[in-house]
Amino acid sequence: MIQPQSITFFIDRCLGNRRIVETLRAAGITIKIHDEHFDKGAQDVDWLPEVGKMGWVVLYQRWQD
């Protein structure tokens, strides 16, 4: 049987609260957290290309004005 490719999800700072992270990890989902890899003040234009190079799927919340 062919094993499915592992997917890593990257949690943007806007979703980086412990409840979401702990829930997803408890479900066996591989999670990377913004603040564990980038400075808190890192701009999207700086970290998004790096996350893309790693092949991680970004989870974020779109804020509406």
pLDDT per residue over 7-48, tens digit each? 999 999 888 678 889 999 999 999 999 999 999 889 999 999
For residue 27, what is the DSSP state?
Answer: T
- Cβ-proximal residues to 59 (8 Å cutoff; 6+ apart), any chain: 9, 10, 11, 12, 15
The H-or-E segment that residue 22 falls in is: helix 18-26
Phi, psi dihedrals of residue 20, rounded to the nearest 5° = -65, -45
pLDDT per residue over 44-64, tens digit each? 999 999 999 999 999 988 776
